[in-house]
Every structure is written in structure tokens, then in C-alpha cells.
């Protein structure tokens, strides 16, 4: 057992899979000599050599394109984009090729690649470093979008993503890279994709969230418990495809739903969850669905980003209003 942070769990998963599958290669900007901007790949080039961990030019479209080509020919590339704000040049390759490979070739080829990127705010970064645009990739057919919220889930979900026969966008909430540690056994045991994880059982209201927001949401649930409000907290984990069965079962039990996410409010993953519950679980609801989200504007700089992101207080207020409705 090792007690590790989320970023260390990512490194651990990469190393395990590279050790046990020589098809796995790591590429990206500064991932080799420097070990990545957040040190997610620290020590991997020294351990596995430059043939399997290599630094690329500053060209995200090229990084994604090379990964698509290698994956189609049987490799399992894990590409890192330094920040999600730099990921947009790679979108063409992901939409036009990675997500379509299996369909285009009628199953003759697949695209087992992982595109990793730190995402979200909270570290006082400059512009283009704090985006939370997971809905963009969730809207792309043929691509899984996975977001870990703890060291244990980072380890298990990244292993599963690398082993998946189709492309996965793996978004790592950088605000919690080093927030907490968990004991993890480096045994190569993957966690299932496409399922939600219930972090806290409750009876009065369902709180659905993912990524770094799981921490604020759990703090809010603990505070509300002192007031006699029992919250069930669900970590979506895979935001495409979404495990709606788990969410609907919880809503059937609690009768209320509050969705929490850092991304801008309009057209987000939260809106999709709300629409699906309205279609399939409307008669279970005792109050309107509420969303606690970022705002429909660019993430503000430095200290004002905390005014943008959902806080424990905003979540608590939304739950109280939902329960009182």
C-alpha cells in the first residue's frame, strides 16, 4: 500500500500499465525530461527510455493526430495536453478521426488512445489555464469522457481508460491534484467506466457532481446533515456516457435533485442530467431540479475565480431551497 495524492496516483497508473503492456507510450509537451508541467510523468522517461516517453513540439493538433495514427495501428498512446485551455487544436483530430474510427472502418479498426489534460480553476492561473469545458467532448459521439475525483479513482479509472478499445478523454481536476492522500495498492486493478459512484447515502435530496466539486459537495452534505437534511452524494465520474440508472434510482428514493458543476451553466453536462431526469423520473420529483454551477462567462483571473466556482454556501442554499419547496 502507498499513500499518494491524485497526481501521484496518475503517475502510478501510467507506470503500471507501461510495465505490463509495451504497447503503451506517453507523449506530450515536456512529459519526458521535465516530467510534465504538474509532474504527472515524473521519472517515466528515465524508467522506460525515450522510445516510450517522448517530448513533442508545442502542437496539440499534432499530438492528437500522432496518437490517432498509433492507436489505429495497435499502440496504446497516452497523450498529455498541458492545460485544457490548450486542447482546442486537438478537437479536429478527436472529432474527425478518433471518435469515428470504429464506425468509419465498420469495426476493422479502433482507436485505443487516452487524451489526458488538467482542467478546472482554483490554482490562480492566467487566462486559458482554468477551463472546464467537459461538455464539448461529452457531445462528441464515439468518445468517453472520464473525470476522477480522488486518488483511488484516478488510479483505477486511468487504468481502465488505457485498456479501453476506444478513445477516452481523461480530465484531471488540477485543483485537487495534491489536496489529499489515499492508500492505494499498486495492483493494476481497474475501476469500471460508465458508472456513477455513490459517495454518501441519503434520504432527502440527491446531490450529483463530479471532479473537484465532489469535495465542496461533500462538505455541504456534512453541514446539512447537522441541520437534519440527509443528502445522497453521487460522483458521476464518467460524464459520457452518463450512468443515468444510478441517478434515477437515487432520485426515486429522495424525490429531489441538485446538480453541482464548475463549468458554465448553459448547455453543460448538468443540463443533460436534468433533462434526462425530467424525461424519465419526473413523477418521482417533489421539487424542481436545481443547478449550482459556474457562470456563462470566461473564468475570471486570480482571486475572483472563487466568486465564479460553486461554494459550499451556494450548494447549501440550493439544497435548503429544494427541501423547503
Query: Catalytic residue numbers?
Result: 129
Whole-number Å distance between alpha carbons of 306 and 134: 19
Whole-number Å distance between alpha carbons of 36 and 27: 10
Whole-number Å distance between alpha carbons of 217 and 260: 7
Q: Which residues of 283-301 are buried (b: 16+ CB within 10 A; e: fewer)?
A: ebbeeebbbbbbeeeebbe
- Partnered with residue 212 across adjacent β-strands are none
Whole-number Å distance between alpha carbons of 91 and 234: 29
Start-end of H helices in 151-268? 151-163, 213-226, 244-254
User: 190 in helix, strand or coil?
Assistant: coil
Q: How far is CA 154 from the centre of its chain?
A: 9
The CB-side HSE value for 120 (13 A sphere, CA atoms) comes to 24
Parallel/antiparallel/unpaired status of strands 205-209 and 231-235: parallel
C-alpha dihedral sign at 314, 318, 323, 325: positive
Q: How far is CA 70 from CA 23, 66, 110, 159, in A?
A: 10, 6, 11, 19
- Partnered with residue 197 across adjacent β-strands are 235
Amino acid at each position: 500500500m502507498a499513500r499518494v495524492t491524485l497526481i501521484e496516483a496518475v503517475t502510478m497508473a501510467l507506470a503500471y500499465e507501461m510495465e505490463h503492456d509495451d504497447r503503451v507510450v506517453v507523449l506530450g509537451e515536456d512529459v519526458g525530461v521535465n516530467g510534465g508541467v504538474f509532474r504527472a510523468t515524473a521519472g517515466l522517461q528515465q524508467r522506460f527510455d525515450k522510445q516510450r516517453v517522448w517530448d513533442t513540439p508545442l502542437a496539440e493538433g499534432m499530438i492528437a493526430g500522432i496518437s490517432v495514427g498509433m492507436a489505429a495501428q495497435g499502440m496504446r498512446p497516452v497523450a498529455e495536453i498541458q492545460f485544457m485551455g490548450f486542447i482546442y487544436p486537438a478537437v479536429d483530430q478527436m472529432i474527425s478521426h478518433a471518435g469515428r474510427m470504429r464506425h468509419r472502418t465498420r469495426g476493422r479498426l479502433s482507436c485505443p488512445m487516452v487524451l489526458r489534460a488538467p482542467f478546472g480553476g482554483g490554482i490562480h492561473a492566467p487566462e486559458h489555464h482554468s477551463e472546464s469545458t467537459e461538455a464539448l467532448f461529452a457531445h462528441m459521439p464515439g468518445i468517453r469522457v472520464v473525470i476522477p475525483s480522488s486518488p483511488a479513482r484516478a488510479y483505477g479509472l486511468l487504468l481502465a481508460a488505457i485498456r479501453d478499445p476506444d478513445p477516452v478523454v481523461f480530465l484531471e481536476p488540477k485543483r485537487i491534484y495534491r489536496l489529499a492522500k489515499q492508500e492505494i495498492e499498486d495492483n493494476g486493478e481497474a475501476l469500471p467506466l460508465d458508472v456513477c459512484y455513490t459517495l454518501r447515502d441519503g434520504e432527502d435530496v440527491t446531490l450529483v457532481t463530479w471532479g473537484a466539486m465532489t469535495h465542496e459537495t461533500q462538505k455541504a452534505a456534512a453541514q446539512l446533515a447537522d441541520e437534519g437534511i440527509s443528502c445522497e452524494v453521487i460522483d458521476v465520474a464518467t460524464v459520457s456516457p452518463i450512468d443515468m440508472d444510478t441517478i434515477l434510482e437515487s432520485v426515486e428514493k429522495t424525490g429531489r435533485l441538485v446538480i453541482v458543476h464548475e463549468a458554465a451553466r448553459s448547455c453543460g453536462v448538468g443540463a443533460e442530467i436534468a433533462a434526462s431526469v425530467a424525461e424519465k423520473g419526473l413523477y418521482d420529483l417533489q421539487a424542481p431540479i436545481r443547478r449550482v454551477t459556474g457562470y456563462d462567462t470566461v473564468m475570471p483571473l486570480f482571486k475572483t475565480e472563487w466568486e465564479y466556482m460553486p461554494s459550499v454556501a451556494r450548494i447549501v442554499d440550493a439544497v435548503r431551497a429544494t427541501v423547503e419547496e
